[in-house]
Amino acid sequence: MKNLIFSGMQPTGALHLGNYLGALKQWVDLQDEHNCIFCIVDYHAMTIDYNPKKMPERITELALDYLAAGLDPEKSIIFIQSHVPEHTELAWIFNTITPLGELERMTQFKEKSAQHRKNVNAGLFTYPILQAADILLYKADRVPVGEDQVQHVEMTRDIAKKFNKKFNKTFPEPKPILTEAARIMSPTDPTKKMSKSLGDKHYIALTDSADVIRKKIRSAVTDTSQGADSPGVKNLFAILEAFDEDAAKGFKMEHKSGSLKYSDLKDVVANTIIGHLAPFQERRRELEAEKERVAEILINGADQAQKIAQKTMQEVRKKIGVR
Ligand code: AQP
């Protein structure tokens, strides 16, 4: 059965292995079987401090990442959230049916408000409502995301249920799709998830050079005192497994028998990442020379997305009794 897939990422910095293995890699695979819509969620990125002058560049960088990873405008709709203002219109409507208590439970809000103490704004709090609008505007029924976003997809489902109950059946109740590598951790602090906004030493960017990748993996915390349960070792295994299951199996056996040398594991993990990122980095360099074509792809994508969005909003406005 064909599903309608929607997902997005924020233009908040360089994409990293967590973004790729948890989400982007499966987006690429899903395009062949399903109807897919992929968004650059720039309005979400405004919920933390940012430099407006740098935003256009960040959006372009993210578009380059999407395309270099293999998102294909012939197969999927690829666009920028702010180009389709229906997203914020639907978010407002969802604001009016979402209880404050449910927003207060959101782990991401708790983490981000601790991380950005000086800027705990209402947008950060209502972030999951805009995300629900992103998804439901297209009546998507599957959302491929990393584990950190599952709670938000559950909230999207709750919002769909509430809307349907109050105003009659309109939206599907979407479910997340997770990969095996749904939670990749920071190499420097493997108790924290790899994150764009935590800073350079906490992530391996898809654009990092071979030398930088080697350096980051060599200095990854493994804390051998915790043996097989060490979060750092688990993380290295998870990364290797996502790229090369057989190699991971071999090292896991060595680990069990006590013969594993962490330096060997790290060398293989680093080389595997470098090998897999090389074609991505090459495609990205080629695309950098074609920024006009990239801009065109995003404009066409917005046209296609807006046609669907307008249809949903006509139905929604009628149902809520405003037009
Ligand atoms: N460490 C991770 N492991 C697996 N998946 C991950 N994702 C993020 N980090 C990991 C998934 O990547 C997508 C990116 O979503 P986003 O850009 O909206 O922001 P995020 O989830 O908050 O990701 P970051 O990298 O941590 O960004 P910042 O630092 O800007 O908040 C989502 O599908 C996410 O699950």
Parse the chain into domains and list their residue ranges: 4-181+291-320, 196-285
Q: What's the average model confidence in pLDDT over 183-208?
A: 93
- How many whole angstroms separate alpha carbon 266 and alpha carbon 253? 16
Distances (CA, A) of 17 to 40, 93, 158, 273: 18, 35, 30, 9
Contact 132, 155 (CB under 8 A): yes
Write down the residue that tokens 């065109």 correspond to: 296
246's tokens: 């057989």
* Predicted pLDDT at 228: 59
- How many whole angstroms separate alpha carbon 127 and alpha carbon 108? 9
Q: What's the average model confidence in pLDDT over 277-293?
A: 97
- Torsion angle of alpha carbons 116, 120, 122, 125, nearest 10°? 60
26: enclosing H helix or E strand:
helix 25-30
> Quick one: which of 38, 16, 6, 4 has its CA closest to 277?
16
19 Cβ below 6 A of ligand 1: yes
Banded model confidence at residue 259, pLDDT cuts 50, 70, 90: confident
CATH 3.30.70.60 fits domain 4-181+291-320:
no
What ranges in 9-82 are assigned the alpha helix state H? 17-19, 25-30, 42-45, 55-69
No. of helices (H) and no. of strands (E), the chain:
15, 5
* Predicted pLDDT at 252: 87
* Predicted pLDDT at 227: 57
Amino acid at residue number 263? S
Banded model confidence at residue 101, pLDDT cuts 50, 70, 90: very high
Q: Exactly one of 2, 53, 112, 311 is catalytic; name it.
A: 112
Q: What's the average model confidence in pLDDT over 179-187?
A: 93
- How many whole angstroms separate alpha carbon 216 and alpha carbon 290? 31
Instruction: For the chain, report the end-to-end CA distance as a whole number of angstroms.
Output: 35
Please say if 249 is a catalytic residue: no
Distances (CA, A) of 121 to 40, 90, 113, 117, 124: 21, 20, 9, 10, 5
- How many whole angstroms separate alpha carbon 55 and alpha carbon 161? 35
* Predicted pLDDT at 44: 98
148 Cβ below 6 A of ligand 1: yes
Classify domain 196-285 at the CATH class level. Answer: mainly alpha
Q: What's the average model confidence in pLDDT over 274-299?
A: 97
Write down the residue that tokens 């709090």 correspond to: 125
- Looking from the CA of residue 149, the nearest atom of ligand 1 is 35
Contact 260, 227 (CB under 8 A): no
Please say if 261 is a catalytic residue: no
Distance 184 CA to ligand 1 centre (A): 10
Percent of the residues in the chain that have a pLDDT greater than 90, as a whole number: 89
Contact 146, 23 (CB under 8 A): yes
> Tell me, what DSSP letter sits at residue 105?
T
Q: What's the average model confidence in pLDDT over 97-126?
A: 96
Of 196 and 91, the structure prediction assigns the larger pLDDT to: 91
**Residue 42: count of CB within 10 angstroms of its CB:** 21
- Looking from the CA of residue 193, the nearest atom of ligand 1 is 1
Banded model confidence at residue 269, pLDDT cuts 50, 70, 90: very high
220 Cβ below 6 A of ligand 1: no
* Predicted pLDDT at 222: 87
Q: Same fold for the domain at 4-181+291-320 and the one at 196-285?
A: no
Amino acid at residue number 260? L
Query: If you average pLDDT over every residue of the chain, what do you get?
Result: 95
Global confidence as pTM: 0.96
Q: Exactly one of 193, 234, 252, 318 is catalytic; name it.
A: 193
Distance 95 CA to ligand 1 centre (A): 24
25 Cβ below 6 A of ligand 1: no
279's tokens: 């074609």
145 Cβ below 6 A of ligand 1: yes
Please say if 196 is a catalytic residue: yes
Contact 184, 17 (CB under 8 A): yes
- How many whole angstroms separate alpha carbon 56 and alpha carbon 238? 34
- How far out from the chain centre does Cα 260 lie? 33
pLDDT for 21 beyond 80: yes
Query: Which of 123-127, 227-231, 240-244, 292-296 is predicted with the least confidence, judged by mean pLDDT?
Result: 227-231
Residues 211-250 have pLDDT tens digits of 999 999 999 998 766 655 689 999 999 999 999 999 999 9
